[in-house]
Structure 1
């Protein structure tokens, strides 16, 4: 097994480039950190091209066998690869799974949500609710960004996530599409749970693009009984997903 002790090693430099979305899009790969995320990737049959490990003796043999290449690294190299202050000492370069927008019954549509914590939480909730697909509008945070991955707790590997034109997807979707807004909307409680639906959530500051709201079946809101101006989009989306799922 090869040891890597320099951050200038070509494999480390290439892995480190994957912190940038442009490089992830170009290569089709992503860098993930930590035992939990890497185990979830392996369980989901994600291709693990490379594993970089500080302490190999602490890693399960099946995980080592799942990787095409395994390298032992030191703390200095781990600090370069890590997206956190305290490196976990285990990193993987994976191939991002590719999905086609086939027939799906229950879909989460996301219009330009920027905060990685919000996106990761919504992916995690969609996974917990049992939705079939997540569709992102261009301009949404990258689901393979480090903070999104951590917030999703590995759910990014459990549910198909694609980026495509939301208006076109909505027009072709064979089911009701529910937008989320405050103006001209009805309480989400007025809609019954159903087998086929799409839920559309929007940008934290601007909400859903008005052009998209004009193509929905109905627009929903969550009543505010206290003095808060609004609900966080991840909280609101989670409430509505569970309600529509029934």
Structure 2
């Protein structure tokens, strides 16, 4: 176990850069914090570059570099209110493009809140979705808050990025219906409206899905809600729609 005591250490400076999108893209790696996420990463065979811990007696099946750091260094690296005893540096995983789009997919158009994106990934895994696709304007999936919100689902759910217009055309070519979500020019979600395979298109917290994407959808729907309720959180709405459309 190697020891780092100073927050000015060059390795600490490099790790701290992973809290920025630019830093993560340059290093092709990201940080995870806490025992739960580290255990999930190990269970999913995520490529881990290094473990960072304040525990002198820390034991792990990880065979790579383990760094013992002071609490000051851990506080410098942590993005949580109470710094954990363990942080891991992980390599980004590039999921192979699916050979078939049969199944259930969620397409995110400019969803900017990290908590919402994390919740959607976590919900997609719970409801047996095949993948989540992040379109332009959507927050980086390796954002600290996104990672924490997924509660480890990020390591098990395929996440892709790309132009949603092109993804929608590909779904339609494979005769997989694309269900858009909108408050106008849309049909109410029906209780018996189910599909063996589909792509669900959800959008920005304030603006919704772009009109150009909605025009490509097979059908656009909305969730009938109480008139006393103004709207649903996009994460909650995604869960309702996934559960309902799968039947």
Distance 1:197 1:123 in 2: 16
Asked whether the equivalents of residues 191 and 244 of structure 2 are also in contact (C-alpha less than 8 Å), the reply is no
Asked whether the equivalents of residues 53 and 86 of structure 2 are also in contact (C-alpha less than 8 Å), the reply is yes
Partner of 2:165: 167
Distance 1:135 1:67 in 2: 33
Distance 1:245 1:46 in 2: 30
Distance 1:211 1:190 in 2: 27
Q: How far off its partner does 1:56 sit?
A: 4.1
Taking a change above 3 Å as real, the CA distance of residues 170 and 67 of structure 1, as seen in their structure-2 partners, is: farther
Listed one character per residue, the Cα deviations across residues 70-90 of structure 1 (whole Å, up to 9, x for unaligned) are 011110000000001210121
Q: TM-score, normalised by structure 2?
A: 0.94
Query: Which of 102, 122, 125 is residue 123 of structure 2 equivalent to?
Result: 125
Partner of 1:66: 62
Query: Which of 108, 111, 119 is residue 110 of structure 1 equivalent to?
Result: 108
Taking a change above 3 Å as real, the CA distance of residues 220 and 83 of structure 1, as seen in their structure-2 partners, is: same
1:1-246 matches, cutoff 5 A: 1-57=1-57, 59=58, 61=59, 64-102=60-98, 103-104=100-101, 105-173=103-171, 174=174, 175-189=176-190, 192-246=193-247
Q: How far off its partner does 1:186 sit?
A: 1.0
Asked whether the equivalents of residues 120 and 149 of structure 1 are also in contact (C-alpha less than 8 Å), the reply is yes
Distance 1:93 1:106 in 2: 31
Distance 2:181 2:246 in 1: 16
Distance 1:56 1:160 in 2: 35
Listed one character per residue, the Cα deviations across residues 133-180 of structure 1 (whole Å, up to 9, x for unaligned) are 110012101111111111110111111111100010110112000000
Distance 2:228 2:184 in 1: 18
Q: How far off its partner does 1:190 sit?
A: 5.6
Q: Give structure 2 stretches of 5+ with no counterpart.
A: none
Distance 1:167 1:56 in 2: 51
Listed one character per residue, the Cα deviations across residues 103-152 of structure 1 (whole Å, up to 9, x for unaligned) are 23211100010111111111110010011111001210111111111111
User: Which secondary structure does the structure 2 equivalent of 1:207 belong to?
Assistant: coil
Listed one character per residue, the Cα deviations across residues 180-230 of structure 1 (whole Å, up to 9, x for unaligned) are 001011122266222210000000011001000000000010012231211
Taking a change above 3 Å as real, the CA distance of residues 3 and 156 of structure 1, as seen in their structure-2 partners, is: same
Structure 1 runs, 4 residues or longer, greater than 4 Å off: none
Distance 1:36 1:86 in 2: 15
User: Which secondary structure does the structure 2 equivalent of 1:65 belong to?
Assistant: coil
Asked whether the equivalents of residues 47 and 67 of structure 1 are also in contact (C-alpha less than 8 Å), the reply is no
